Amino acid sequence: MSKTSHKIYFIEVLRGPAALLVVAYHITGILMGAYSFWPGMGRDLFRNGNIGVDIFFMISGFIICYATRNKEDNYRSSFIIRRFFRIYPLFIICLTIAWLTYNSGYDYLDYLHSATLMQNNYAGKAPFFGYNILYPAWTIAYEVMFYFVFYFGMCINHKYRGFITAILLLMAMSTIQISFKGELSVHGHFSSYSPDMGVFSPPLTLLGSPLMLEFIIGMGCYYLYNTLKTSKNITVSLLFLTLSVIAISMMYFVDLNSHGITEKGIVAAAIFIPLMLSEMTGMKLKSKVSRFFSDISYSLYLTHAMVLKYYTIYLKDIGINDFPKGVLSFFSILAVCIVVAYIVHITVEKWFINIGKKIITILSTKENNNSLEKKPT
């Protein structure tokens, strides 16, 4: 039995905290100047909280290989259906609500632009490129571009899908950077954008981004997890877990300015890889808490920005221009974000995911029936 037939727990352990770190990063100002004995509390604790994005990209690279490990019937259409219903319905609902309420200043063409998961300005600062109307969604553009390339890699050869995808991504990144910038860079804030790209600037700019390397790291970790033979040794497992904790502590001591493998990405990998090796050597960090936060992570990531915006609007309506300061305010807002994410997860996200599963089941049943009808009697 292969390792990939077992439950993978370290991904659950990482996914939830990654989303929570991003939320904490966006509300860190609540802790700034709240206490005279530690005026920079928010900055010191969560200045690198957006490392959750880099962790998400590595998780995606790992999980997409894991989820496609079996070459099922209609695997190409199943892949598209699963990815679509996992990501897009919740995104478009949140985007629409945001546009109709606090982002109503954007016209319908801006809305349609964001609905295609494109950022607002590819000539702007990388890797955000002007964000999206629903600003956390800037990362989803990278995710979808990665899925697009992975789909082609899988169609070329299912067995070597990860390897082929990595080659395609590396070739695309290097070719685009050299063609339009005349140089190669792995720095996360490097932009390959050029006006010469014309209407193809969205996909070319994303494919030329060094952030794609983080998906490759995730895929590489999957193959390491799947092929490396390890024995169960609790001492070794604890050692790897300790290394991961040390890497986590680096977020407090080191100021990481940019996404990508030169800064936040290398720390994300230093957290991700030892935690994976810890599980491979026997440590199973499973709990209902980690499962809960893993389940709601996508809803939390998308909706927390909306919660913060509506709270800001409410405060201004009652004559308050800033969030109340302090730990109590911090955890109160965080709790509200978690509750909203849970409600959205069970009422919207899971519903659409189940629709996707039902469609795949219907297609599989239809394919099986067609196969039976074609068999000679």
The per-residue DSSP string of 71-94 comes to --TTHHHHHHHHHHHHHHHHHHHH
In whole numbers, what is the pLDDT of the chain averaged over residues?
A: 93
Summarize pLDDT for 79-136 with one digit per residue, the tens.
Answer: 999 999 999 999 999 999 999 999 888 999 999 999 999 999 999 999 999 999 999 9
Own/partner contacts of 360-366, CB < 8 Å, gap of 24 or more, are 360/74, 360/77, 360/78, 360/81, 360/82, 363/74, 363/77, 363/78, 363/81, 364/72, 364/73, 364/74, 364/78
Q: Are 181 and 25 in contact (CB under 8 A)?
A: no
Q: Looking at the predicted structure, is the pLDDT value of residue 2 above 50?
A: no
Burial of residue 4 (CB within 10 Å: 0-12, 13-18, 19+) is middle
pTM, rounded to two decimals: 0.94
Question: Do 280 and 317 meet the contact criterion of CB atoms below 8 Å apart?
Answer: no
At residue 365 the predicted structure's pLDDT band, cuts being 50, 70 and 90, is: confident
Question: 243-260, pLDDT tens digit by residue?
Answer: 999 999 988 888 888 999
